[in-house]
Amino acid sequence: MRMVKPMMKRDMIDDLVDIIYPLPDPLKADANDNEEAGYDAWRRDVEDQRNAFEQNRRHTVENSEDYFDPLLAEITQARREIREAAARMRLLVAYGREFVRPSPYQLKDLADATSMSISGARGAYDDEEIATVARRIGRQPRTRALPSPAITD
């Protein structure tokens, strides 16, 4: 009689681990020693991240005084990361337009890099972002060229 190994029951946290920290695809059969060593290190790193994430989420679920939904928590975290990335992008565009000398980056290049229109890149940042960049890099923005005054008769 053949013994069948029981399947481990999966739960939402197992699924979230696989979604958020997927294991690297296997190497091709003809991979060299350097590729194998790099792959092994990468896989160990991902496995460590997976284990830490799983332990953290299971601990939170088991010890939370209030109801904790791991899926909603991850969606909330992803949204937070999107907002942080957008804020970082606005600072970088401000830097490219207001601090790079002698000439700023062209709007078309910044628009391409940000997947924005040229007008979107032009309006992507405001005085607050300029001030934040200035504070962080310890330098004032370049002086903007003022428009020529209109000639009146």
pLDDT range class, residue 147, cuts 50, 70, 90:
low
Q: Which residues of 128-140 are buried (b: 16+ CB within 10 A; e: fewer)?
A: ebbebbbeeeeee
Range of the domain at 56: 11-23+35-68
User: Looking at residues 21-50, what average pLDDT do you find?
Assistant: 94
Number of domains in the chain: 2
Establish if 29 belongs to a structural domain.
no
Establish if 138 belongs to a structural domain.
yes
Residue 7: pLDDT over 70? no
Establish if 4 belongs to a structural domain.
no
Does 91 lie in the same domain as 62? no
Residues 110 and 96: beta-carbon distance below 8 Å? yes
Measured between alpha carbons, how far apart are the two ends of the chain, in Å?
A: 106
58-89 confidence digits (pLDDT tens): 999 999 988 999 999 999 999 999 999 999 99
Quote the pLDDT of residue 3. Answer: 53
More confident residue, 10 or 9: 10
Average per-residue pLDDT in the chain? 91
Does 138 lie in the same domain as 89? yes
**Identity (one letter) of the amino acid at 47?**
E
Token couple for 41: 């290190």
3-state secondary structure of 135: helix
10-30 confidence digits (pLDDT tens): 899 999 999 999 999 999 999
